[in-house]
Amino acid sequence: LATHRKPPAILKTKLQLPVKILTGPGPTNCSERVLQSLKNQVLGHLHPEVCQLMDEIKAGLQYVFQTNNRLTLALSASGHGGMEACLTNLLEPGETILVVKSGIWGERAADMATRIGVHVEVIETEHTSAVTLEQLEIALHRHNPVAVFMVQAESSTGLKQPLEGFGDLIHRYNALFIVDTVASLCGEPFFMDSWGVDATYTGSQKVLGAPPGLSPISFSPRAETKLLQRKTKPSSYYLDMTLLGNYWKCFGNESRVYHHTISATLLYGLREALAEIAEEGLRASWIRHASAAARLRKGLELRGLRSYVKIPQYQLSTIISIELPPGVDDTIIVQRAMKNCNVEISRGLGPTVGKVLRVGLLGTNATFGKVDLVLRALEILPSKL
Ligand code: PMP
């Protein structure tokens, strides 16, 4: 028994955490209503109350994705899980995917696809401009991919990829249209069905305003057909959308089939977050995010700071990237904003490290009050450098 470790003394201290203003690219702060819901006692993952919650969440997700897709559910994973689920389920080894890369997320998708033996072709855009229909058509013609991957809100650069018209084009080339909506859903318009998107996923912790840990995902009938026609099983059991669809009762099945133990607690939070969005209405939420972003951009301009993305059509309402002025140390800015104002501002990510600062106005933080706090946090900083 002498070899047993003793209980760590550190665990005898009381858990104490600060409250911070999360105005980076995510996670964002939860509302009081969402926080309250998390206090409910844990329930079993197949208890009737949890099954009812899953049905309610599914209806809420169909609303926020603007889809009638029956294969709509929430994965027990963060946004990366959603990305991995799309690629693992919709592509088989040896097939080709065309990835639009405007920042780190296209890069990650390409990495994941390579790991599952998929052949990757890339269209790379500048950080500050989106891919056009003409550019995509040339690549579709050349590479004949099974699927195209695009990111609506490239959170590493602040770039918005317009999506209208792409679904029809991609379908003309018999490919599936996969879109990452992690950093945009509910903050930017998104119409899964009318834009012809075949698979999309988001993260619970961004505009939705729930805790991290669930990744809402939806597959179109066309994507379902691809699942049925696979010659091999998806390499991930955990992310197998057919098994998950059975658990979420997506296929008209009588009863749910156990797949894994979903976190009831996270479902409570997501249910309440979706209820709040349903109450506000998607359109009102998009307008609120656009107004907050416009106020921030105006304030930045008045302080002599410039948006990294210059073309208004490509500027996001959710993640605002600011050109890092020459000679300014981004690490100091970020540290001081937190220390002096309790405000999170983020450095660049991946290809934009040292080039930008990033502000996220997501969910409950897309308000004029939070914008003014961010501006104050930025204002006091340069003079102290
Ligand atoms: N895609 C985009 C566009 C993102 O912004 C993020 C998170 N910043 C992810 C995917 C990955 O999500 P997560 O960190 O929740 O795994």
Query: Hey, what amino acid is at 334?
Result: V
- In angstroms, rounded to a whole number, what is the distance separating the alpha carbons of residues 296 and 23? 12
Is the domain of 90 the same as that of 132? Answer: yes
For the chain, how are helix, strand and coil distributed in percent, rounded to 5? 40, 15, 45
User: Quick one: tokens of 180?
Assistant: 């990452």
Q: Is residue 12 part of a domain?
A: no
Q: Is residue 17 part of a domain?
A: no
Q: How does strand 214-219 pair with strand 199-201?
A: antiparallel
- In angstroms, rounded to a whole number, what is the distance separating the alpha carbons of residues 275 and 347? 32
Q: Name the domain boundary from 249, 278, 307.
A: 278
Is the domain of 228 the same as that of 291? Answer: no
Q: Is residue 100 part of a domain?
A: yes
Supply the range of the domain harboring residue 40: 32-278
Q: CA 210 from chain center: how many Å?
A: 12
- In angstroms, rounded to a whole number, what is the distance separating the alpha carbons of residues 315 and 208? 20
CA dist 46 → 101, 249, 256 (Å): 40, 12, 8
Q: Name the domain boundary from 223, 247, 278.
A: 278
Is the domain of 344 the same as that of 244? Answer: no
CB 217 within 8 A of CB 210: no
Place of tokens 């819901």: 37
CB 358 within 8 A of CB 322: yes
Is the domain of 171 the same as that of 261? Answer: yes
Is the domain of 168 the same as that of 215? Answer: yes
Q: For 270-296, how does the pLDDT look when each residue is reduced to its tens digit (9 = 90+)?
A: 999 999 999 999 999 999 999 999 999
Q: Is residue 25 part of a domain?
A: no
Is the domain of 265 the same as that of 178? Answer: yes
Task: Please identify every stretch of the chain with a pLDDT value under 70, giving residue numbers as ranges.
Answer: 1-2, 380-385
Which ligand 1 atom is the nearest neighbour of the CA of 184?
3
Is the domain of 334 the same as that of 238? Answer: no
CA of 159 to the centre of ligand 1 (A): 14
ipTM of predicted complex: 0.99
Is the domain of 297 the same as that of 227? Answer: no
The pLDDT score that the predictor gives to residue 69 is 98
Q: Name the domain boundary from 278, 302, 324.
A: 278
Structural domains in the chain (count): 2
H-helix or E-strand containing 151?
A: strand 147-151
CA of 331 to the centre of ligand 1 (A): 21
Q: For 227-263, how does the pLDDT look when each residue is reduced to its tens digit (9 = 90+)?
A: 999 999 999 999 999 999 999 999 998 899 899 999 9
Which ligand 1 atom is the nearest neighbour of the CA of 83?
10
Within 13 A of 377's CA, how many CA atoms are on the CB side?
Answer: 29
CB 241 within 8 A of CB 89: yes
Is the domain of 159 the same as that of 143? Answer: yes
Q: Is residue 1 part of a domain?
A: no
- Look at the pTM and tell me if it is higher than 0.95: yes
H-helix or E-strand containing 36?
A: helix 32-37
Is the domain of 323 the same as that of 249? Answer: no
Is the domain of 271 the same as that of 292? Answer: no
The pLDDT score that the predictor gives to residue 380 is 59
CATH number at 267 reads 3.40.640.10
Q: Is residue 15 part of a domain?
A: no
The pLDDT score that the predictor gives to residue 379 is 80
CA of 371 to the centre of ligand 1 (A): 22
CB 204 within 8 A of CB 272: no
Which residue has the least CA distance to atom 14 on ligand 1?
79
CA dist 223 → 87, 90, 176, 301 (Å): 11, 7, 7, 44
Q: Is residue 19 part of a domain?
A: no
Residue to substitute in 76, 80, 181 for testing ligand 1 pocket (most ligand atoms within 8 angstroms of CB): 80
CA of 348 to the centre of ligand 1 (A): 14
Q: Is residue 145 part of a domain?
A: yes
What is the C-alpha R_g of the chain? 21
Determine phi and psi for 263, rounding to 5 degrees: -75, 110
CATH number at 356 reads 3.90.1150.10
Is the domain of 185 the same as that of 230? Answer: yes
Pocket of ligand 1 (CB under 6 A): 25-26, 78-80, 83, 105, 151, 153, 155, 180, 182-183, 203, 212
